[in-house]
Chain A
Amino acid sequence: MGRLFAVEIVYRGIFQKTLAKNISRGIVLAASLEGKPGTSFGRYGDSPERNGIPAKYFAIVATDDLTLEEGMAKYEPKEVDITVCVDDTLCKGVESWAWYGLQPINRLTKAGGTLIVTSKEPPEKLMPMIHQKQDPYKLAVLKGIPSFSGLWVYKDDHTDVRILGAIAKLLPDMLKLDSVKQFILHEWNDAVKVQSATNSYNRITAQNVSPSQGNPEKPFQFELLKWHEMRDGVSIPCIAPGHKMDDPATHATGGFQPARNPTFKKWSTRTMRPVIDFDTCIKCTLCWLQCPDSCFDVTPEGLYDANMEACCGCGVCEAVCPVKDCVTMVNEVAFKDNSSQWEAWRKNKDTYNTWLKGTIANKADRSHGFRYKGQYEEQTPEMLEIAKSS
């Protein structure tokens, strides 16, 4: 048997679909220039995609046809040489709508394989978000803001070719830089893109990650039921109605916290989350009313606490809130857990408000697809600048 290579591209559904497809196809087409057969496919269960929900593309390349067949005999690869993560907030894990529990971003990465993350953050900042892995592997950070587009628009900020350049450097047995360049010229006939791929090839470095590094938490998971344990009639119990909330400071009870889906946590489905200034909230109810996912718990005193077991990070609450800076969407990299902001505020208002101001002031770039006219024109030069500099 010859050699088999597998690459997974973990991306944000819809926003990065074209990007993931370009990378995956690029790997296969560039490898084919070296006479290596391959296949590229999106994970079927991720389709139809949802905005921002983690999804996967796979590229499989082999040194010969029979070996490729070994790779294709599986529904999807059980391990990969390279995991490409095109949005750094996905380092917290992958919880797609087609499977269950939180899968660490490096779950499929082989021992000795490489996790490539596009981010403006340094590796030290990303490491605590990535779950620990039993086997050593490598982490390579490709500098850049997450490249988000829409379903019908593609922001050509060279992220696709920069990833290809990085892969050529990290796994030359699968793909050489020359093939990547040749592929780019053939596909786009764009010398600047070739330059971007070359720059990234020259610049990318990988560092070793030991089993002791990373987030030590055991990722959330649950057992799928056996057929005779399941309810019949294709029926599932509804989520229970909910209950009053407890005030951690006074132990008064009141308000209402709806019960939530116990198995779909949505922790990794969002790229940003609202932070709330409870001192300026005028209790107008708009966030509670407009949130598409019924995230807001009503506190005993009638405030609204966005529950992170339900939030998909859409930003509607921020858009509808009539009070300036009362709701601010902040990039997920700023948060270590999913705990209640209101409880923190009740326990110690000063500490909370200091945290709130700091978090808003130092927030990383937000990202949630195409949000306003002119957004890409603003972002593309920045990305091109990053791509050119070495």
Chain B
Amino acid sequence: MAQMTATLPERGTEETALITGSEAIAVACKLADVDVITAYPIRPYDTVMQYVAKLVANGEFDCEYIVAEGEHSQFEIVKHASACGARVFTGSSGVGWMYAMEALTVTPALRIPMIAMVGNRALDDPGAFGVEHNDALTVRDLGWMLVWVDTAQEALDTALIAYRVAEDRRIFLPCGISCDGAFLTHSQAMVKIPTQDQVNKFLPRYNRADLLLHPDNPITVAPQANEDWVMEIRRQNYAAMERVPGVIREAYADFERIFGRKYGNPFFEEYETADADVVIMGMGTLSMPTRVAIRKLRSEGKKVGMVRLRWFRPFPAEELAKCLSRFKAVGVLDRDFSFGSPYMSGVVATETRAALYTDTISKHPPVLNFIGGLGGREVTVPDVEKIAHELYEAAEGKKKPATQWIGLRE
């Protein structure tokens, strides 16, 4: 913490700091000059609230910082503040996120550009601190944009991009930024801190415009409406979500121009895929052991690649399907579960299979699902090697189960 505050850059000079993913998000909040932040402690999200609190206490960051009496109020407060034109930030983890569920549900329909950090955590029971992606994924049908980041640098950059996209009048949708508990929230890395000038150039002020809740703009928000209106209201949110990919592309292009950092395809990152026979796909920090394993496998002559999905909502179906259809087999590594789902698979595998089932794709590689890393368990390099082995066998036409659990004591 001390390091971070000591190394925060002066206006106009980009500096580097050794900070965690959570600190990186807190720094992004400061740079974005967020107006209202609400908090309620739950691990691992609470690291962000600590860093924000420290920035505020040190006089480095001027915002309304409210510690609510529970997550439901925490999300409701920022929802209302955002309706009144404030740039907002909040977040939670695991069952804390679930406790806010009613507030999470109403936020997208009201077109609130709330940015929330989800420090991914296993859902109780058992009470476990470690990462699982099921918490953030519960809102996948509700109109939230959802993005998974991999490094502290990506966390900071993505937070700035998220504000830019969410607060675009064409969008006005909330965005959840998922950071793997412990692996990202609690590990420090060298992060380039953008300058305030860069951020100001990239991120316009939030303008709630015609939806501003203010006496000068008298509107009623969220009235009762029955079957005569509900379909039209849902269709409006569909239209907003439909516009997101275009706005994301604009934002990443501008980001690259202003900050000089390239993310390539905003929706998913490809690693060693150019000549790959088989690829392993996943979200978040799973990429670390995967990259290492891929380098090892390649030294043994196995052409394995990786696709790391960043934006889960909106799901980049067409582009992803086009990419995946190039390979002989695809392994999806899910750090989540969806009990009773088709083929008892994880959420990402199920959505990926659905994305591939389209008439624009003629070649459908086998998609094997691997459930692993639950509750924060490490996915090891040998685990990834085993996945690659299974994929090669599937590519050769060998019958494989649709879903396998890896790293399980059996």
Contacts and interface: CB of A to CB of B under 8 A. Distances in A.
Nearest to A99: B228
Interface residues of B, number: 24
Interface string A220-233: 00001111101111
A234 B223 contact: yes
Interface string B102-113: 000000011100
A66 interface: no
A100 B219 CA distance: 20
A236 interface: yes
A99 B109 CA distance: 22
Contacts of A226: 232
A100 B110 contact: no
B109 A231 contact: no
Contact of B240 (A45, A232, A236): A232
**Counting chain B CB atoms within 10 Å of each CB, which of A45, A235, A236, A237 scores highest?**
A235
Nearest to B208: A233
A227 B227 contact: no
Nearest to B220: A236
B225 A234 contact: yes
B2 interface: no
B220 A233 contact: no
A227 B220 contact: no
A233 B232 contact: no
A237 B225 CA distance: 14
A12 B381 CA distance: 72
A264 to B, nearest CB: 12
Given A100-B228, A224-B228, A232 B223 contact: no
Interface residues of A, number: 18
Nearest to B219: A235
A102 B235 CA distance: 28
A303 B223 CA distance: 33
Contacts of B109: 233-234
Interface in B223-273: 223, 225-229, 231-233, 235-236, 239-240
B218 A237 contact: yes
Interface in A197-253: 224-228, 230-238
B386 to A, nearest CB: 49
Interface in A13-55: 45
Contact of A235 (B211, B227, B231, B232): B211
B57 interface: no
Contacts of B235: 227
A153 interface: no
A98 interface: yes
A231 B212 CA distance: 12
A232 B211 contact: yes
B121 to A, nearest CB: 31
B172 interface: yes
Interface in B107-129: 109-111
Contacts of B231: 227
Contacts of A225: 232
B241 to A, nearest CB: 12
A238 B228 contact: no
Interface in B83-116: 109-111
A225 to B, nearest CB: 7
Given A232-B240, A233-B110, A234-B110, A45 B222 contact: no
A269 B231 CA distance: 27
Nearest to A233: B111
A232 to B, nearest CB: 5
B224 to A, nearest CB: 9
A233 B172 contact: yes
Contacts of A98: 226, 228
Nearest to A239: B218
A234 B134 CA distance: 29
Contacts of A228: 236, 239
Contacts of A237: 218-220
B236 A232 contact: yes
A99 B228 CA distance: 8
A45 B232 contact: no
Contacts of A238: 218-220
A47 to B, nearest CB: 10
B206 to A, nearest CB: 14
B221 interface: yes
Interface in B128-163: none
A237 B221 CA distance: 9
B221 A234 contact: yes
B210 interface: yes
Contacts of B223: 234, 236
Contact of B222 (A230, A231, A234): A234
Contacts of B228: 98-100, 224
Interface in A246-272: none
Contacts of B218: 237-238
A45 B226 contact: yes
Contacts of B172: 232-233
13 contacts: A224-B229, A225-B232, A226-B232, A230-B233, A231-B210, A231-B211, A231-B219, A233-B109, A233-B211, A233-B221, A234-B109, A235-B222, A236-B220
Interface of B: 109-111, 172, 210-211, 218-223, 225-229, 231-233, 235-236, 239-240
Which 8 pairs of residues, A with B, have the shortest CB-CB distance?
A238-B218, A227-B232, A233-B111, A227-B235, A233-B211, A232-B236, A235-B219, A235-B221
Given A98-B228, A233-B211, 5 more contacts: A99-B228, A230-B236, A231-B211, A232-B172, A234-B110
